[in-house]
Amino acid sequence: MPCLAPPPALRWLPCQGWRQPSRLTAPLLAACTLACTPALAATVDVQLNGSDGKPLLEAVVVLESAAARTASKPQPGIEVGQVDRRFAPRVVVVPVGSAVSFPNHDKVRHHVYSLSPTKPFDIKLYSGVPANPVVFDRTGVAVLGCNIHDNMAAWVVVVESPYHGVSAADGRVRIDNVPPGHYRLKAWHPSLPPGTAAQDQPLQLGPDRAAVSIVLPVTGGGV
């Protein structure tokens, strides 16, 4: 068993195979982890309003950085269902590589598709849960529709960051556990004209809470 470098507080202990701490070292390791790990995560509160001052529903916020790209990994268990002939949720943010399932909770059949270069796909008329989820393997926005019900629309925003959120009716997005660092804060709403780039601003984040207000050129609460 190779002896990997132990934490500094435990260097006086003889090597006992650090891959598997013994009954003696395990509690010491746990105590050291608690005592030695600084609080290295902040919460980012974002308030999104339209140009008419109304809070925006379903606005997307993403914090991007080189470190965020490295920390990004596919998120399991994401669903975009269909309920009462609407997508639920209508807007979802997923890290690149995530597989999204499209369960149909209605009695009518749906035919979900996307023509977007980010992820073209087509799930022909179906009930229940389609056999295969759709893997979103490129960043960007995929606009989803239903071939049967023209008024159904949803947006899958594919990002390379674990730090993101979608606003509730009060226009708020709260992103927890964000490490300090320099980020680009990007905000977008599906009511923006097609092809509009996300609004982009720098965010220097320390270990404390940060509050940001953003106005997007959308009116009527974005509904």
By beta carbon distance, the residue nearest Cu ion is 146
Question: Looking at 24, 30, 148, 223, which residue binds Cu ion (CB under 5 A)?
Answer: 148
Q: Which stretch binds Cu ion (CB under 5 A): 7-15, 32-40, 148-156, 162-170?
A: 148-156
Binding segment for Cu ion (CB under 5 A), chosen from 15-23, 26-34, 107-115, 177-185, is 107-115
Q: What Cα–Cα distance (Å) separates residue 61 from each residue in 44, 171, 175, 183?
A: 10, 11, 9, 12
Q: Name the one range near Cu ion by CB under 5 A: 66-74, 143-151, 163-171, 187-195.
A: 143-151
- Residue 171's nearest CA partner among 109, 112, 215 is 215
Burial 72-94 (b: 16+ CB within 10 A, else e): beeeeebebbbeeebbebbbbbb
> In the complex with Cu ion, which residue's Cβ is closer, 149 or 184?
149
Q: Decide: is 149 part of the binding site for Cu ion (CB under 5 A).
A: yes
Contact partners, residue 140, CB within 8 Å, separation at least 6: 116, 117, 118, 157, 158
Decide whether 85 or 209 has the Cβ nearer to Cu ion. 85
**Under the rule (CB under 5 A), what is the footprint of Cu ion?**
110, 146, 148-149
